């Protein structure tokens, strides 16, 4: 029997993801061990993600242990993975995607159209709130899901803006007040799926078992397109880009992607149809850059450099 060691962050949501993968692997006949690893993004909670640095905030320590063979795979929220991996790593599986929408979560009976204070640590969500709902106030909100909900209930904000998948997995349905439109509030690349990363040196037998047990081919194709877009843009956690790919019909993929300025005053959005996921991401990124995205991206990087 193959033994597979899973590396994961220690939050309840990260552990849910690890247990979810563990269950699939056990069903495939593997013996599984889970190892909790604390990352930079978990330890530094008094600064925004953009000030910590976007590359590897939630993955670097996990990758260190992949590299030295202490774990076989690392389990991540796909949206937390940096756009480019080091040459000795690869993503070998994406689990079936859940609903990808952002949701407004609150213990109060409120709407995003009300004059409320919303907590979020995402630069994408902040920029989109400024673009589409400029009447709301925004406060930076770091920490795991339970911590953020506790802060909200203690009066730090009226509501949180979160991914539906995390809220669903943690059983907070009763606090969802609104599901935001995908056409306006397009999600982060990878939102809603769990990604499984390994070193390229992973035993081929283990690799095949993990892929067969965990990978959802349709989700994988869509996320390959989204990540190809993100890689071409060279976007990270601190850059407010978005991208969502879906099947248009039996042969075509549709990628809706774009960038929004930090103040929310400029949004460039492009849609592209193609049957090759990698080329779809690259072509979409180039189209975005040609339509003014390059200038917005340069401006964002300058502003972030000034704030760090």
| Residue 79 annotated to the active site | yes
Q: Residue 232: pLDDT above 50? A: yes
Confidence grade of residue 56 (pLDDT, cut at 50, 70, 90): low
Give residue 46's pLDDT.
45
Task: Kindly report the CATH number that applies to the domain delimited by 230-307.
Answer: 3.30.160.40
Residue 238 vs residues 55, 142, 188: alpha-carbon distances, Å: 9, 14, 11
How far apart CA 204 and CA 276 sit, in angstroms, is: 26
Q: Give the other-Cβ count within 10 Å of 12's Cβ.
A: 12
List the catalytic residue out of 80, 102, 158, 283: 80
| Residue 9 annotated to the active site | no
List the catalytic residue out of 79, 97, 177, 227: 79
Per-residue pLDDT averaged across 22-41, rounded? 90
Question: Mean pLDDT for the chain?
Answer: 91
User: 3-96+193-215 and 102-179 share one CATH topology?
Assistant: yes
List the catalytic residue out of 9, 97, 142, 231: 142
- Which one of 3.10.20.90, 3.90.1310.10, 3.30.300.30, 3.40.190.10 gives the CATH number of domain 3-96+193-215? 3.40.190.10
| Residue 97 annotated to the active site | no
Per-residue pLDDT averaged across 255-270, rounded? 96
Contact present, 205 and 2 (Cβ < 8 Å): yes
List the catalytic residue out of 9, 130, 148, 207: 148
Query: What pTM was computed for the model?
Result: 0.90
Could you write out the three-class secondary structure of 42-88?
HHCCCCCHHHHCCCCCCCHHHHHHHHCCCCCEEEEEHHHCCCCCCCC
| Residue 148 annotated to the active site | yes
Coil, strand or helix at 16: helix
Say if residue 264 is exposed, middle or buried (CB neighbours under 10 Å; 0-12, 13-18, 19+): middle
Q: What is the pLDDT of residues 273-302, one digit of tens each?
A: 999 999 999 999 999 999 999 999 999 988
Confidence grade of residue 41 (pLDDT, cut at 50, 70, 90): low
| Residue 80 annotated to the active site | yes
Per-residue pLDDT averaged across 124-148, rounded? 94
Helix 145-153 vs helix 12-27: crossing angle, to nearest 10: 150
Give residue 52's pLDDT.
39
Domain map (residue ranges) of the chain: 3-96+193-215, 102-179, 230-307
List the catalytic residue out of 9, 24, 125, 227: 125
Task: Write out the DSSP string of 198-250.
Answer: EETTS-HHHHHHHHHHH--HHHHHHHHHHHHHHHHHT--TTS-EEEEEEE-SS
List the catalytic residue out of 9, 24, 97, 124: 124
| Residue 269 annotated to the active site | no
Q: Which CATH architecture has domain 102-179?
A: 3-Layer(aba) Sandwich (3.40)
Confidence grade of residue 55 (pLDDT, cut at 50, 70, 90): very low
Q: What is the pLDDT of residues 160-174, one digit of tens each?
A: 999 999 999 999 999
């Amino acid at each position: 029997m193959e033994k597979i060691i899973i590396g994961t962050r220690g939050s309840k949501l990260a552990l849910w993801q690890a247990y979810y993968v563990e269950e699939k692997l056990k069903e495939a006949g593997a013996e599984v061990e889970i190892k909790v690893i604390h990352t930079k993004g978990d330890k530094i909670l008094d600064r925004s993600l953009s000030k910590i640095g976007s590359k590897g905030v939630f993955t670097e320590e996990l990758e260190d242990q992949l590299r030295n063979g202490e774990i076989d795979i690392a389990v991540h929220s796909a949206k937390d993975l940096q756009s480019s991996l080091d040459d000795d790593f690869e993503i070998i599986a994406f689990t079936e995607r859940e609903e990808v929408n952002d949701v407004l979560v609150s213990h109060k009976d409120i709407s995003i159209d009300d004059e409320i204070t919303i907590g979020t640590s995402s630069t994408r969500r902040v920029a989109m709130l400024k673009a589409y709902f400029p009447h709301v106030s925004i406060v930076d909100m770091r920490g795991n899901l339970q911590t953020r909900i506790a802060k909200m209930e203690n009066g730090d904000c009226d509501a949180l803006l979160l991914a539906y998948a995390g809220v669903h997995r943690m059983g907070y349905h009763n606090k969802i007040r609104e599901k935001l439109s995908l056409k306006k509030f397009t999600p982060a690349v990878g939102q809603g799926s769990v990604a499984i990363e390994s070193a390229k040196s992973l035993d081929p037998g283990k690799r095949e078992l993990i892929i067969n047990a965990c990978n959802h081919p349709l989700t994988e194709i869509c996320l390959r397109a989204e990540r190809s877009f993100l890689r071409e843009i060279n976007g990270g956690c601190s850059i407010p880009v978005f991208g969502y790919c879906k099947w248009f019909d039996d042969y075509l993929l549709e990628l809706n992607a774009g960038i929004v300025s930090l103040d929310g005053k400029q949004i460039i959005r492009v849609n592209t149809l193609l049957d090759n996921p990698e080329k779809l991401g690259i072509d979409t990124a180039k189209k975005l850059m040609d339509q003014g995205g390059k200038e917005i991206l340069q401006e964002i990087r300058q502003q972030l450099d000034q704030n760090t």
